[in-house]
Amino acid sequence: MSTTASPSFNFKPLLVANMICSMTMMAFISVLGPIARVLGLAPWQAGAIATAGGIFMMLSSRLWGQRSDHIGRRSVLLQGVGGFLLSNIAMCILLIVALQFSLYGILVFAGMLLARSATGLFYAAIPTSGQALVADNVPPEQRTATMAALGAANAAGLVLGPALAASLSSHSLATPLYLITLLPLVALFMLWRYLPTQAPKAHTATAAVALHDPRLRKPMAVAFVAMMCVAIAQITIGFFAIDQLRLSPEAAAQASGTSLTLVGIGLILTQLAVRQLQWPAQRLIRVGALIALMGFATAAIALSTMMLATSFLVVAIGMGCIFPAFAALASNSVEAHEQGAAAGSIGAAQGLGMVVGPLAGTLLYGITPGVPFFFAALLLGGIALFRL
């Protein structure tokens, strides 16, 4: 539960790598729809490709975390980013060739599905080992603040990735793919060159933490609900703008893009503010859940683009409190030699939320457009009342 502080440890390479890999993931998502349309893929196929990454992230997070306990955080981070780089290269080569030669059919879909699965598999090593690295070098009372810095780096990637992809897409759909290919190489170099080496924290099988470990049930429940709510918002906002706000598809895309950009900005600013608050993790989760609840409830009855965007900004402020808090709560619940496995359990819970969220969101949307947002508000109300 305690750890020796290492104030001189240089976290900057980890922050840069997190931002770059997040940029890469989001840049691909932002161009997936147009590329799928050009290649003749059905919407469900594009959805399956996007979901595959979340599934493999869920399945592999604990394995990466346990591996980092035994061979060290730096080694696992390099393996994860290296595999992430190679899987992105394979996927981008496939897509560039398919776009160049107008290839269609099940083989292109299968290749994209396989490559995206590998991307999720290797990406899982990055947040998992990164959170464990923070726990190794930061005392418990300061972990929330450092986790917030990691969250802000990820949120910066959330904003910058789609923005860069959109600007490059004006040249051709293939141009953003070169960015997606090259960016992880920068992250790999930064980690290899500048991230300090430390001895592994665990040397025996006692480092294993069961997925059902009672110490992690509460932070895992919060992680699952938070990511599920985010996924619900992401999958339904475009449809909501068309059906509830009566916008054209083009205007709806712009409205959802504006709202999600504000989400990224809100996450960055809130998590930077969290670093200064020094609140306990439990308090941050409750306050954040109440704020996000209000944002989702307002979004459900939004009657204008401005109201929708403002509501999502409020959601982002709440989530910016919750995300670093549940990571710190999990870290503070286990021993030093269990940090990787604990971070992996949290990653698995988030991955499950990424898988369940889109399914729940689309099913609930069939009732009426505002229901998914009301459902997210209800879940967050449960978190606010949850005894942490």
Q: What is the mean pLDDT of residues 199-223?
A: 73
Most confident of the ranges 139-153, 163-177, 188-202, 287-301: 287-301
Distance CA 315, CA 267 (A): 9
Q: How far apart are CA 39 and CA 4, in angstroms?
A: 53
Tens-digit pLDDT profile for residues 274-294:
888 888 999 999 999 999 999
Give the pLDDT confidence of 108-121 residue by residue, as tens digits.
Answer: 899 999 999 999 99
Q: Is the pTM of this model over 0.75?
A: yes
Res. 241: pLDDT tops 80: yes
CA distances from 69 to 72, 143, 350 (A): 6, 18, 20
pLDDT of residue 74: 93
Cα 117–Cα 77–Cα 210 angle in degrees, nearest 5: 75
CA angle 74, 276, 287 (to 5 degrees): 100
How crowded is residue 320: how many other Cβ atoms within 10 Å of its Cβ?
28
3-state secondary structure of 327: helix
Question: Residue for token digits 């394995």?
Answer: 63
Please count the CA atoms within 13 angstroms of the CA of 241 that sit on its side-chain side. 25
> In this predicted model, what pLDDT tens digit does every residue of 316-374 receive, in sequence order?
999 999 999 998 898 888 887 788 888 888 888 988 888 888 888 888 988 999 999 99
Pairwise CA distance, residues 325 & 211, whole Å: 20
Which amino acid does the sequence have at 75?
S
Q: Establish how many alpha carbons lie within 13 A of residue 79's alpha carbon, considering only the half-sphere containing its beta carbon.
A: 16
Confidence band (pLDDT; 50, 70, 90) for 209?
low
Instruction: Give the residue carrying structure tokens 């470990």.
Output: 213
The answer to whether the beta carbons of residues 39 and 99 sit under 8 Å apart is: yes
For residues 235 and 372, give the distance between their C-alpha atoms in angstroms, rounded to a whole number.
10
